[in-house]
A and B are shown apart, each in its own frame.
Chain A
Amino acid sequence: MTATDLGLPSMGGLDLVPTTDEPQKAKEYKSDQEVRWCPGCGDYIVLNTIQSFLPTLGLKRENIVFISGIGCSSRFPYYMNTYGMHSIHGRAPSIATGLATTRPDLSVWVVTGDGDALSIGGNHLIHALRRNVNLKILLFNNRIYGLTKGQYSPTSEPGKVTKSTPMGSVDTPFNPVSLALGAEATFVGRALDSDKKGLTEVLGAAAEHRGSAVVEIYQNCPIFNDGAFDMLKDSGEAAQRIIPLTPGEPIRFGPEGEFGVTTTGYGGLDVGKVADIGEDNLVTHDPSIEDTAYGFALSRLGDQHLSHIPTGIFRQVQRETYDDQARAQVQQAQEAKPGDLQALLTGKDTWTVE
């Protein structure tokens, strides 16, 4: 993408949002509405994490807006004592785009799920990402339709038996991180609902990022897809499967750090034993690499069986945002020639009747 160079200074995601010196507490971010997710739903943990995280940003609470689509996770805004809109299925990124473009003083968050973002709203997601609108998109991925009671989703594993696929799903699923990178996303991260620390770190970086940030959150649905991510939470197995991405450090994992990531002959990445690869041949993680191929290769290390799952920040690069540039054009036009309504209405070719 070639952006017009409008001489904009490099900004952080929250630079235009008013701050407060008043210390804030998580409690202040809880609305008076009773939370109505099912007992044991992963959404509770995410909600608590975000309510604990937001006070650390020091923003004026009234300048934070949560916009959601439809689905279990999209009830999220009702539980936040901020501004919020629970919109319609799949369309939250478009509504948030209009808001973010006209209101640079707001921190705009989109809450969406795997069905909302990747199925009915897939078009809006990819276009928000390519435009790089200053939005933070939290994609709750539970790999199932919960609110409609248990149909397979665009991230369900092939062969998934659900109410709508009694003989097993024959759909190939999306890898949300791969999709986001394919759509030119400038920030892509992934975290587990249960990993408060990891999720908070990714959220913090996303908030500070100027442009679209997608955070895929693996979230357990205890009713229709219970235990989908248990193997990433089981203390015995997790270390074998989760590949933590730490910028500037070689990518290693395993209980003793005995596994690592190395390059393949095709420009891709693969996992292996460090003993076989050799420490010098381990890939050092760098999310600022411009070429999306690197983040994409990282995203392909994971598969639907969760044998290996990188978590953390896949990509974090600077690119001018749609909203900053759109506002700059308006400002430029206003400074060059302030609007004169009478002159516009009169135009150039007129005649007078006496």
Chain B
Amino acid sequence: MSTSANGSAAAGTEALSASRPTEVNRLERVVIRFAGDSGDGMQLTGDRFTSEAAAFGNDLATLPNFPAEIRAPQGTIPGVSSFQVHFADYDILTPGDRPDVLVAMNPAALKANVADVPQGGTIIVNTDEFGKRNLAKVDYESNPLEDDSLSAFEVHEVAMSTLTQGALADTGLGKKDAERCKNMFALGLLSWMYHRPTEGTEAFLREKFAKKPDVAEANVLAFRAGWYYGETTEAFGTTFEIAPAKLPSGTYRQITGNTALAYGIVAAGQQSKLPVLLGTYPITPASDVLHELSKHKNFGITTFQAEDEIAGIGAALGAAYGGALGVTSTSGPGIALKAETIGLGVMTELPLVVIDVQRGGPSTGLPTKTEQADLLQAYFGRNGECPVPIVAPSTPADCFDIALEATRIALTYRTPVLLLSDGAVANGSEPWLIPDASTLPDLSVAFATEPNAPDGSGEHWPYQRDPETLAREWALPGTAGLQHRIGGLEKAEGKGNISYDPDNHDKMVRLRQAKVDGVDVPDVEVDDPSGGDARVLVLGWGSTYGPIGAAARRVRAKGMPIAQAHLRHLNPLPGNLGEVLGSYDHVVVPEMNLGQLAMLLRAKYLTDIQSYTKVAGLPFKAEELEGVFTDIIREVNAA
């Protein structure tokens, strides 16, 4: 088969420019989903398209969705990997519910994703993969490209594998290797359709494959072949433009939640002027925090890949005892293993940041999918009365701020702090207004230097507390005159010696609780553009911020007022929360669990809460929540 792509074997560096007149449609927003086999490079393709959108100045949000298996059997439904990107000319809150465009690299990708494409949506398929064998693998009895099952969609059939191989015929690359560049062909085609800047992708490919220049050139050629295919074939009559978004002024970059979280830890080390030790064990979806931090040793960061989850947090606690910022990162199953050491941190009252990038549970659950079902584990998943402050980021970019906030609380109150991220914010990305490092909060701490016994004995009492924060002093080994012993056994208030005294234990249990209850957290803010007409409040926490916000906008656009509030501090809860809950006729709490926050709120505030839950391993769709909120408002108004 001939190709219309650039025939030269070495791609030049001149920018691609369109010349064929097409109808240009201006859109406010579009959602594109790239779907293919795990080995097809869909995550990379989506990531690059996202970077192009970012470079163009669109607002964007992404949702990677991939299997836990590194390479599930080729061509099967379990092996399908996808990457959805939503970009727009205004500030958006979610990666989008349904793709306007689905790129399906094989029948499995089509079958797994077609139900999400709205009627009239565009589907671009790689026809080369629609052979009998691949169709049979996913139980297609007839070829969906030949029967009328896709008649509701605008389907573009492109022989991507053949075209890519043709474009690379002169490169000397083997057929198989050439075929592997088909994801870049798809990216090139989509880049043409959406008037994306292409220089960044070409530069990226040349840098990524710097050690294999022939592979780099092949990928650039494939990318260009896809672009020229759109430009020259008549199959695509329309291209689309999405203008840059009108975001607050400043300099932006694209960032994923896990990267932002790692940067937050780097910043926390700088702002506290403490060396950082991350003690951790690889686990999906938290490992990227380890990968990122291990690159930044030049900020005084030591990353310790331990023999297990328990040793990871143990090393972090040991480092904290020695005066470092101790951090451990994991996902839900790891928190279960770390529970006893978190308890030791609570008992010894040492600062510690414990990151839980939540995933589907219980047990091994859904390692690559998102969920919010560790809230009660964070609250109560330890023996004894063992309170810890809990914070949760709302968006990928918020992961940076929440890491600083978790550190502030840990250092100020000398306590382990649970940071509940999740798969959706961790792997999702969005534009980030780059903060001015000089304006970040000062987190510096004062270590104990003198014996503190109030009786003037010249002794050091390790459990003597600051009357305001109830934090004990941080007296580091190496400080003369402050030698003391701490540990997991109950300690006498003040002196800190082992104590089995009943009254002392009762007092210490209450002191530890009072310390956490007294953590200074900001009031929760309520967003109600109606100026107070809303009778329904929707309250969320964590990564549901995006879909809840998008749904609230849609509801308001229909003329129905609704108030929205979102919690970043889960323990303690903001001081004004009870009053806020009491100010509305109806409160609904959507969660990706079976109602864990709702249960806590009912218990604490003795108030009626409607819990709306879904535990599907995927973020809520704005459309779904829009329906829920609309129904609730109608019912409340009718009552």
Q: Using CB atoms and an 8 Å cutoff, list the residues of chain A in contact with chain B.
A: 18, 31, 33, 60-63, 65, 67, 70, 77-78, 80-88, 91, 93-103, 105-106, 123-124, 127, 326-327, 329-330, 332-334, 336-339, 341-342, 344-347, 349-354
24 residue pairs bridging A and B, Cβ less than 8 Å apart? A62-B481, A63-B478, A77-B485, A78-B498, A87-B314, A91-B340, A94-B314, A95-B314, A95-B317, A95-B318, A98-B318, A99-B477, A100-B318, A101-B315, A101-B319, A102-B275, A124-B311, A127-B311, A333-B297, A339-B266, A342-B436, A350-B252, A351-B252, A353-B248
> Is there contact, CB below 8 Å, between A91 and B481?
no
Q: Does B57 contact A (CB under 8 A)?
A: yes
> Is there contact, CB below 8 Å, between B302 and A330?
yes
Instruction: Check A62/B482 contact, CB under 8 A, given A98-B304, A339-B300, A347-B253.
Output: yes
B interface, size bucket: 35 or more
**Complex CA distance for A95 and B350, rounded to whole angstroms:** 13
> Is there contact, CB below 8 Å, between A352 and B250?
yes
**Complex CA distance for A84 and B321, rounded to whole angstroms:** 10
CB distance from B166 to the nearest CB of A (A): 32
Interface residues of B in 268-323 (CB under 8 A from A): 270, 275, 277, 279, 296-302, 304, 306-308, 310-312, 314-323
Instruction: Check A85/B486 contact, CB under 8 A, given A96-B318, A330-B297, A351-B55.
Output: yes
> Is there contact, CB below 8 Å, between B311 and A123?
yes
> Is there contact, CB below 8 Å, between A86 and B488?
yes
User: Assuming A83-B485, A326-B302, A333-B297, what are 16 further A-B pairs, CB within 8 angstroms?
Assistant: A60-B478, A67-B318, A77-B485, A85-B486, A94-B318, A97-B304, A98-B314, A99-B477, A102-B318, A330-B298, A330-B302, A339-B266, A349-B51, A349-B55, A350-B252, A353-B250
For residue B324, which residues in chain A have a CB less than 8 angstroms away from its CB?
98, 102
> Is there contact, CB below 8 Å, between A103 and B252?
no
Q: Does B599 contact A (CB under 8 A)?
A: no
Instruction: Check A87/B487 contact, CB under 8 A, given A33-B497, A353-B249.
Output: yes
> Is there contact, CB below 8 Å, between A350 and B434?
yes
For residue A33, which residues in chain B have a CB less than 8 angstroms away from its CB?
485, 497-498
For residue B438, which residues in chain A have a CB less than 8 angstroms away from its CB?
342
Residue of B nearest to A91 (CB): B314
**Complex CA distance for A96 and B298, rounded to whole angstroms:** 24
CB distance from B458 to the nearest CB of A (A): 13
Q: Which 4 residue pairs of A and B lie closest in terms of their CB atoms, listed nearest first?
A: A86-B487, A98-B318, A94-B314, A98-B315
> Is there contact, CB below 8 Å, between A99 and B248?
no
Instruction: Check A351/B322 contact, CB under 8 A, given A83-B483, A85-B348, A98-B316.
Output: no
For residue B322, which residues in chain A have a CB less than 8 angstroms away from its CB?
98-99, 102-103, 106
Question: CB-CB contacts of B244-258 with A at 8 A, as 1s and 0s?
Answer: 111111111110000
**Complex CA distance for A100 and B279, rounded to whole angstroms:** 13
For residue A353, which residues in chain B have a CB less than 8 angstroms away from its CB?
57, 244-252
Pick from B247, B298, B485: contact of A86, CB below 8 A. Answer: B485
Q: Does B267 contact A (CB under 8 A)?
A: yes
Interface centre among B244, B249, B479, B487 (most CB of A within 10 A): B487
**Complex CA distance for A80 and B487, rounded to whole angstroms:** 14
CB distance from B366 to the nearest CB of A (A): 27
CB distance from B429 to the nearest CB of A (A): 12
For residue A344, which residues in chain B have a CB less than 8 angstroms away from its CB?
263, 266, 296, 299
> Is there contact, CB below 8 Å, between B298 and A338?
yes
Interface centre among A334, A347, A351 (most CB of B within 10 A): A351
Residue of A nearest to B487 (CB): A86
Residue of B nearest to A343 (CB): B437
> Is there contact, CB below 8 Å, between B477 and A345?
no
Interface centre among A18, A81, A333 (most CB of B within 10 A): A333
**Complex CA distance for A77 and B478, rounded to whole angstroms:** 16
Interface residues of B in 326-370 (CB under 8 A from A): 326, 340-341, 343-344, 348
Q: Does B118 contact A (CB under 8 A)?
A: no
Residue of A nearest to B244 (CB): A353
CB distance from B504 to the nearest CB of A (A): 16
**Complex CA distance for A330 and B315, rounded to whole angstroms:** 17
For residue B249, which residues in chain A have a CB less than 8 angstroms away from its CB?
352-354
Q: Does B390 contact A (CB under 8 A)?
A: no
Residue of B nearest to A29 (CB): B483
For residue A330, which residues in chain B have a CB less than 8 angstroms away from its CB?
297-298, 300-302
**Complex CA distance for A81 and B436, rounded to whole angstroms:** 47
> Is there contact, CB below 8 Å, between B54 and A349?
yes
CB distance from A205 to the nearest CB of B (A): 24
> Is there contact, CB below 8 Å, between A345 and B437?
yes
Pick from B301, B315, B320, B484: contact of A83, CB below 8 A. Answer: B484
Q: Does B200 contact A (CB under 8 A)?
A: yes
Question: CB-CB contacts of B40-81 with A at 8 A, as 1s and 0s?
Answer: 000000000001001111000000000000000000000000
CB distance from A18 to the nearest CB of B (A): 8
> Is there contact, CB below 8 Å, between B299 and A83?
no
For residue B297, which residues in chain A have a CB less than 8 angstroms away from its CB?
329-330, 332-334
**Complex CA distance for A339 and B276, rounded to whole angstroms:** 13
For residue A332, which residues in chain B have a CB less than 8 angstroms away from its CB?
297
Question: CB-CB contacts of B440-457 with A at 8 A, as 1s and 0s?
Answer: 000000000000000000
Instruction: Check A91/B482 contact, CB under 8 A, given A98-B279, A99-B321.
Output: no
Instruction: Check A103/B478 contact, CB under 8 A, given A95-B314, A124-B314, A341-B270.
Output: yes
**Complex CA distance for A202 and B306, rounded to whole angstroms:** 29
> Is there contact, CB below 8 Å, between A77 and B314?
no
**Complex CA distance for A84 and B485, rounded to whole angstroms:** 5
**Complex CA distance for A18 and B323, rounded to whole angstroms:** 18
For residue B343, which residues in chain A have a CB less than 8 angstroms away from its CB?
88
CB distance from B231 to the nearest CB of A (A): 25
For residue A70, which residues in chain B have a CB less than 8 angstroms away from its CB?
488
**Complex CA distance for A334 and B466, rounded to whole angstroms:** 36
For residue B302, which residues in chain A have a CB less than 8 angstroms away from its CB?
101-102, 326-327, 330
Q: Does B489 contact A (CB under 8 A)?
A: yes
**Complex CA distance for A351 and B55, rounded to whole angstroms:** 6
